[in-house]
Amino acid sequence: MYGLVNKAIQDMICKYHGEDTWETIKQKAALEDIDFFIGMDGYPDDVTYCLVEAACEVLSIPAHEILKAFGEYWLTYTAEEGYGELLASAGNSLPQFIDNLDNLHARVGLSFSELRPPSFECEHNSDKSMDLHYQSTRQGLSPMVIGLLHGLAKRFDTKVDVTQISFREQGDPHDIFSIKYKDSQSDDK
């Protein structure tokens, strides 16, 4: 994974748990020799997985909760790190943005030549629900997708209910998420 992901993990940990906790996590992950991550440099996926595993131990939080929190945090972080315009170009609503995720990753791939992005395919069931098919070469990141969807819902001021209905880790071909959404501004008062 690119250093930008590891930098975002570091930023999230430091922001919510402090620098000392981050140093403890780095030590537990056997990464104490790394002073900082370079955003555009590639790192083995194991580095990221070790950081998450160490964070689980140090914070006594299950991996799915850390990954979900990170998914939500990722949107804010990347916008602040100079990718705000790129995110804005992907859509003006939750369904439009989700429909454009693969296009967004293709544009990101122009800067990150070794990017191995996941693939997202939307299946619209009604005007307020869809199934999101998620495929990745990486294992165990479906909780991060749930966090991303919740982060996108906040970005677009949309109420969202996300339920995972297919699980690659349980033998299904890929993960599928059922998404029901409602624009907060259209609520009856």
The encoded tokens of residue 101 equal: 């995720």
Q: Across the chain, what does the average pLDDT equal?
A: 93
Residue 32 in any domain: the answer is yes
The pTM assigned to this predicted structure is 0.91
Residue 129 in any domain: the answer is yes
Same domain flag for 55 and 110:
no
Residue 73 in any domain: the answer is no
Same domain flag for 45 and 121:
no
Residue 174 in any domain: the answer is yes
Residues 129 and 181: beta-carbon distance below 8 Å: yes
pLDDT digit string (tens) for 128-181?
Answer: 999 999 999 999 999 999 999 999 999 999 999 999 999 999 999 999 999 999
- pLDDT at residue 127 greater than cutoff 90: no
Query: What are residue 107's phi and psi, to 5 degrees?
Result: -70, -40
How many CB atoms are closer than 10 A to CB 49? 17
Residue 131 in any domain: the answer is yes
Q: How many domains does the chain have?
A: 2
Which residues, at least 6 apart from 162, have a Cβ–Cβ distance to it below 8 Å? 146, 149, 150, 177, 178, 179
Write out the residue range of the structural domain in which residue 118 sits. 91-186
Residues 144 and 67: beta-carbon distance below 8 Å: yes
What is the rounded average pLDDT of the residues 98-126?
92
Same domain flag for 103 and 167:
yes
- pLDDT at residue 111 greater than cutoff 60: yes
What local confidence, expressed as pLDDT, does residue 9 receive?
97
- pLDDT at residue 187 greater than cutoff 70: no
Residue 145 in any domain: the answer is yes
**Measured distance between the N- and C-terminal CA atoms of the chain, rounded to whole angstroms:** 45
Sheet of strand 119-126: strand arrangement? 119-126, 129-135, 175-183, 158-166
Same domain flag for 102 and 171:
yes
CA quadruple 154, 79, 166, 6: dihedral, nearest 10: -130
- pLDDT at residue 123 greater than cutoff 60: yes
> What span, in angstroms and rounded, lies between the C-alpha atoms of 21 and 55?
9
Residue 165 in any domain: the answer is yes
CATH number for the domain spanning 102: value is 3.90.1520.10
What local confidence, expressed as pLDDT, does residue 186 receive?
55
> What span, in angstroms and rounded, lies between the C-alpha atoms of 92 and 37?
32
Least confident of 35-44, 63-72, 155-164: 35-44
Same domain flag for 137 and 55:
no
State whether residue 133 is helix, strand or coil: strand
pLDDT digit string (tens) for 72-108?
Answer: 999 889 988 888 899 999 999 999 999 999 999 999 9
What local confidence, expressed as pLDDT, does residue 183 receive?
80
What percent of the chain clears pLDDT 90, i.e. is strictly above it?
A: 79
Same domain flag for 97 and 181:
yes
Same domain flag for 115 and 177:
yes
Same domain flag for 99 and 154:
yes
What local confidence, expressed as pLDDT, does residue 188 receive?
46
Residue 78 in any domain: the answer is no
